[in-house]
Structure 1
Amino acid sequence: MSVASPVRETSSKASIDAIVALTAPAMGEVNAMILAMAGSNVALIPEIAEHLISSGGKRLRPMLTIASALAYGYRGSDHVKLAASVEFMHTATLLHDDVVDESDLRRGKQSARMIWGNQASVLVGDFLLGQAFRMMVDVGELSALRILSTASVVIAEGEVWQLSAAKRMTTGEADYLKVIEAKTAALFAAATEVGPVLAEAGPEAQAQMRAYGLNLGLAFQLVDDVLDYRGTAQALGKNTGDDFREGKLTLPVILAHQRGSEAEKAFWRGALEGGENDDAALLEAKRLLERHGALEATVARARGFGEKAFGAASALPASPSRTALLDVVAFCIDRVN
């Protein structure tokens, strides 16, 4: 396993099979609710929503909501609505992200903005956010509503922060980690924290699951950063090299820039700030990232956050839920291998 831990109950080959099996009954209901809540008399709304919802995403975040509730013995049905809310929040973020990043591909398919345009993509994202909050209100659990609504605000802040820092080579590692904590890890944290809230497991359990989700989300994003330069479009769910072409500052670039010569720093400024990011420049970027060990250093940091997530889940009593949550951490890190 890539993520070391004294707890040895993860599968020998990292996968999410355990959490898929564990959550399958509830996720069947979640998927039905997603399709129902994506419906509208305005034909374009379900058309765009269905395009992204059916495009092969793993739906990891709602599965984490289900698993975290089951881990604390929850036996009700409200976790289905909250899991669907989490997925709608995530889907809305993807629609908005693709517009901001001008992405052509999402999960191996044309992005919604390429088919229907930016305006429709943004507005349907807003519709999905509205539906997410309707489902949260239907649950009637004020603490869960507070957690998820706060996450929505933090995610939006992270998006704006990333936009402002995207092409500034003065952005350092600490600031970048704050950006991805807001943009990506906040939803993972909220998705897992609401499980013990529904189970009435108490503040300590909430903090434990929040720590699990937050660190898992950080590890997940850092692995994505590496895959953009080392992976495949199939593994990443979008074109590799998109971060570079969009002038997006990620941790591997920050590290390579810090470790580079003055000439190399000039290359990075030209590529990210000056838009000099053609295929030849991408090859040079990959060479510099490898030369300075920036990709491996980013993987090492991802493993560090993975260790923290693993430790948080390890404190749970032995159960299929704990095994599933531990497997997710290992799977997240092993995507880069």
Structure 2
Amino acid sequence: MSVAVTPADGTHIPLLEAELLRWVGSGDSLLELACLDALFPPGKLLRPVLCMESAKAVGGTADQVLAFAAGIECLHVASLVHDDIIDQDPVRRGRASTAEQYGLAEALVAGDGLSMAGIAALLSSGPAEHVLHAARVTIEALRHMCHGLMRETEIRGDLTCGASTVLNIMQAKTAALTGAACQAGAILAGATPKQHQALRRYGEQLGMAFQIRDDLLPYTAEEQVTGKTATSDVANLQPTLPVLLAYEAADEADRNRLTTVFRGGADPVTAHLDVLDVLTRTGALNNAARMASSCAEQACAELTGLPDTIQLAELATSAAARQH
């Protein structure tokens, strides 16, 4: 069975889509079908694009890191499949999640299958020393991601955990892998330690900007645009950055409103509107947006002295301003 790949802008996208098909298969089994359903139509492909652009930034080529970049996307999407199971979220990228479409057991196996395809792709080509170094960087980031995801479950319903706790979770859950994608691409292209470490820091700051903006989207963008359920965080009693910023800045009445919502039991739509009202009144939405912009600026500062970084700078800026 063949898969129709949705065209997308960007010179890397067709190459990445073809490479993903090479590693996952064309749909000849239920496992392949479920994996392909999770991968296609693709999302932003941010992490593999960062990997390829980081290779270019130090004088390499995108082709050098194509398989590794596809492997990172497989591993990232595997985490999304499992994340939707954890959150019991029926929607991903504007359509039924893998668990919703294929079933819980099948989605768990598809996530594992994508992980195995991703690891195989990471280790498939390039000088052994560089591949091993890049793979270690990536797998260590994935370990951090698991810690972040677990920590996220521990703070559900806890509005007293503090914004710093959520920022640390973002660093582990999102920024570690975006940083690793950049560092790995540079390592595979033969970068100096100074260069690949700068690109790791760039990627981490971009990842923070991306995740902060992601936390804002349920309150600043329409579901049709984001492709996600706006009420998911509130329904799961997940205190995100803007909520915690609002809680810290709120007066007693608004703190009580937030506390009532995060005790659970309220209608998610009504609860979401109540939270949005408090976030707007306390200025938490604007404060979080400024934090995202600051992270993007710090990301761009890390690119100083690298030879080819126009695309990387644009990616950082768009991460902080995105609406989907």
Q: TM-score, normalization: structure 1?
A: 0.87
Matched AA of 1:113: A
Matched AA of 1:330: T
SS of the equivalent of 2:41 reads coil
How many angstroms apart in 2 are the aligned matches of 1:72 and 1:259?
A: 44
Match of 1:130 among 92, 116, 119: 116
CA RMSD of aligned residues (A): 2.0
CA offset at residue 267 of structure 1?
2.2
Number of aligned residues: 313
Check if 1:247 corresponds to 2:234: no
Check if 1:283 corresponds to 2:273: yes
The verdict on how the C-alpha distance between 1:76 and 1:324 changes in structure 2, with shifts beyond 3 A counting, is closer
How many angstroms apart in 1 are the aligned matches of 2:267 and 2:149?
A: 22
1:31 corresponding residue in structure 2:
17
How many angstroms apart in 2 are the aligned matches of 1:199 and 1:262?
A: 55
1:5 corresponding residue in structure 2:
none
CA offset at residue 316 of structure 1?
1.8
Of 64-73 and 136-145, deviating more is: 136-145
How many angstroms apart in 2 are the aligned matches of 1:66 and 1:233?
A: 30
How many angstroms apart in 1 are the aligned matches of 2:34 and 2:269?
A: 31
CA offset at residue 47 of structure 1?
1.3
Report if the CA contact (8 A) 2:52-2:61 is conserved.
no
1:266 corresponding residue in structure 2:
256
How many angstroms apart in 2 are the aligned matches of 1:107 and 1:41?
A: 20
CA offset at residue 312 of structure 1?
1.2
2:43 corresponding residue in structure 1:
57
Of 120-129 and 276-285, deviating more is: 276-285
The verdict on how the C-alpha distance between 1:311 and 1:41 changes in structure 2, with shifts beyond 3 A counting, is closer
CA offset at residue 241 of structure 1?
2.7
Report if the CA contact (8 A) 1:247-1:275 is conserved.
no
Q: How does 1:79-118 map to 2 (within 5 A)?
A: 79-118=65-104
How many angstroms apart in 2 are the aligned matches of 1:277 and 1:261?
A: 24
How many angstroms apart in 1 are the aligned matches of 2:175 and 2:110?
A: 23
Match of 1:327 among 307, 314, 318: 314
Check if 1:205 corresponds to 2:191: no
- Structure 2 regions of 5+ residues with no counterpart? 1-7
Report if the CA contact (8 A) 1:69-1:198 is conserved.
yes
CA offset at residue 304 of structure 1?
0.9
CA offset at residue 41 of structure 1?
8.6
Report if the CA contact (8 A) 1:244-1:277 is conserved.
no
The verdict on how the C-alpha distance between 1:268 and 1:277 changes in structure 2, with shifts beyond 3 A counting, is farther
CA offset at residue 240 of structure 1?
1.8
1:218 corresponding residue in structure 2:
208
Q: How does 1:66-77 map to 2 (within 5 A)?
A: 66-75=52-61, 77=63
How many angstroms apart in 1 are the aligned matches of 2:30 and 2:223?
A: 27
1:191-220 CA-to-partner distances (Å, cap 9, x unmatched) read 101121012211101111001100000000
Of 123-132 and 267-276, deviating more is: 267-276
SS of the equivalent of 2:262 reads helix
The verdict on how the C-alpha distance between 1:76 and 1:162 changes in structure 2, with shifts beyond 3 A counting, is closer
Of 199-208 and 265-274, deviating more is: 265-274
Q: TM-score, normalization: structure 2?
A: 0.91
Report if the CA contact (8 A) 1:167-1:273 is conserved.
yes
SS of the equivalent of 1:273 reads coil
CA offset at residue 52 of structure 1?
2.0
CA offset at residue 44 of structure 1?
1.7
SS of the equivalent of 2:124 reads helix
How many angstroms apart in 2 are the aligned matches of 1:313 and 1:234?
A: 34
CA offset at residue 315 of structure 1?
3.3
1:252-296 CA-to-partner distances (Å, cap 9, x unmatched) read 100111122333223222212323243222211111100000000
How many angstroms apart in 2 are the aligned matches of 1:149 and 1:213?
A: 16
Report if the CA contact (8 A) 1:59-1:87 is conserved.
yes
2:142 corresponding residue in structure 1:
152
The verdict on how the C-alpha distance between 1:235 and 1:311 changes in structure 2, with shifts beyond 3 A counting, is farther
The verdict on how the C-alpha distance between 1:75 and 1:115 changes in structure 2, with shifts beyond 3 A counting, is closer
Of 108-117 and 68-77, deviating more is: 68-77
1:42-76 CA-to-partner distances (Å, cap 9, x unmatched) read 72211111212112412121111111001111148
